[in-house]
Amino acid sequence: MRLYLTGYMGAGKSTLGRKIARRTELPFLDTDKMVEEAEGAAVADVINFAGEEYFRQAERRALEQTADYESAIISTGGGLPVWGDNMVWIAEHGVSVYLKRTPEQILSRLSPHGRAKRPKFRGLNDEELLAFMQTHLAEREPIYEQAHVVVDCSQIGDDEIVERLAEFIIRN
């Protein structure tokens, strides 16, 4: 089974994905890291120098490469599901999971490094960032909500999320 973790930037897709992969002994793939390896540059640099459209195309190529794995835990970039028909592609190639968090939860989870590496977050103070996330997440959420599984992360901790998703994989 391919399990695609979707959700907003900073929702914990990569962190939780690595833990689920360890628990299930499945490969872990991160589409952002795949783009960085293919492009030889950080995501922020690809966006800054080649543009967002180029980045989204590189991200789609990375997404399509995940089909080479029969089973894997895949962390998608926050914008990947909302670009083009990516969410449809994901639904056809695996099980999608939306890690649903509020902007306030995401803000509390972000380290200074986590903020700095996301171009859309740079230069914003906490109040500005929260307002940006509220608007931006509201735009993206209808796509995220199309996931096969929606996990309300405000109701359970990360360890329980990992355990529940690992058990879901093992059962299926």
DSSP string computed for 27-72:
-EEEHHHHHHHHHTS-HHHHHHHH-HHHHHHHHHHHHHHGGG-SSE
> If you average pLDDT over residues 116-131, what whole number do you get?
81
15-32: per-residue pLDDT in tens? 999 999 999 999 999 999
For the cut 90, the answer to whether the pLDDT of residue 155 exceeds it is no
> Which has the closest alpha carbon to 79: 120, 28, 115?
120
Asked whether 93 and 67 are in contact (CB, 8 A), the reply is: yes
Q: Rounded to an integer, what distance in angstroms lies between the CA atom of residue 65 and that of residue 44?
A: 21
What SS3 class is residue 99?
strand
CA distances from 23 to 28, 38, 162 (A): 11, 28, 8
Tell me the C-alpha distance between 41 and 170, whole Å: 35
DSSP annotation of 80 reads: G
Distances from the Cα of 99 to the Cαs of 50, 88, 90, 148, 171, in angstroms? 29, 18, 15, 11, 20
Query: What are the start-end ranges of the E strands in the chain?
Result: 2-6, 28-30, 72-75, 95-100, 149-152
CA distance linking residue 120 with residue 4, whole number of Å:
23
> Does residue 100 sit in helix, strand or coil?
strand
Which pLDDT score is estimated for 83? 96
Tell me the percentage of the chain whose pLDDT exceeds 90: 81
Higher pLDDT pick, 5 / 108: 5
- pLDDT at residue number 123: 79
The pLDDT confidence band at residue 41, using thresholds 50, 70 and 90, is very high
Confidence of residue 118 (pLDDT cuts 50, 70, 90): confident
Average pLDDT over every residue of 103-132 = 82
CA-CA-CA-CA torsion sign (50, 12, 101, 89) = positive
